[in-house]
Amino acid sequence: MSQTPHHDRHKFSYHPKNGNTPTSRPTLSSPWHYRSTLDAARKMYTTEGIFSFYSGLTPALLGLTHVAVQFPAYEWLKTKFTGTSMGAAPVEGKDQKSQWLGILSASILSKILASSATYPHEVIRTRLQTQRRPMPGQEYTQGLASAAQMAEGSNGNGAAPSQAPKSVAALPKYRGVVSTFRTILKEEGWRAFYAGMGTNMMRAVPAATVTMLTYEYCMRQLNTARVQGRQRVAAFGRDGIRDS
């Protein structure tokens, strides 16, 4: 009798261990589901099909609008702040400190403007890429079972859902850009499209600032070297004519 509780305590578990197979999802007992890039590609192809490698491709292509907003805004702001266009040679006689301050301001403001205008596509892309796909033997995985399946399984009395009919296949919750947009807007409201934007700004704005400052510095060095090279060529030509 004294051994029964000890035996039951080790036998009962809320999280049964599953085998580490290509068709199993990560559990609390398995620290890593993918051991390498090749292992991840093999398991994704085996369990989710070839289309899993292109999940979220359409909203990712919509991310090109981010660049279409950022660079024109940066060039317009830089022209307003410094009087020179993007990548132009420095103007002699102007304060270099104010020039770099104008470039820094244009970089920050253009990135904030572009991220604010195009951030919803980041949310849609993330939802499409991170949702769980239908797995063999798992009809009620998070985000998969449809409302009809859950309603039929619960039977309206709070009981555990029964096994879904085999004719009804579990489908992903988010399918396509338009469908995902409508689902998020209906279930979570328009604020959901800007969830996490502050954290994204903390990452994207400094990165864009460093990128643009590095670009402007390299262009200034190249333009200065080009001007000096032309001056030396012109001086060499005058010396040659004078010697002749």
For the chain, the domains span 16-54, 55-131+179-234
- pTM as predicted: 0.60
Task: Render each residue's pLDDT in the chain as its tens digit; 244 residues.
Answer: 445 554 444 444 444 444 444 444 444 444 557 788 888 888 888 887 888 788 777 777 877 888 999 999 999 999 999 888 777 766 666 777 888 999 999 999 999 999 999 898 888 888 887 776 555 444 444 444 444 455 555 555 555 555 544 444 457 777 778 888 888 888 888 889 998 899 989 999 999 999 999 999 999 889 888 888 888 888 877 766 666 5
Cβ partners under 8 Å of residue 193, min gap 6: 119, 120, 123, 124, 184, 185
Q: Are 133 and 53 in contact (CB under 8 A)?
A: no
**CA geometry: angle 87, 92, 93, nearest 5 deg:** 130
In this structure, what DSSP letter does residue 158 have? T
CA angle 137, 138, 142 (to 5 degrees): 175
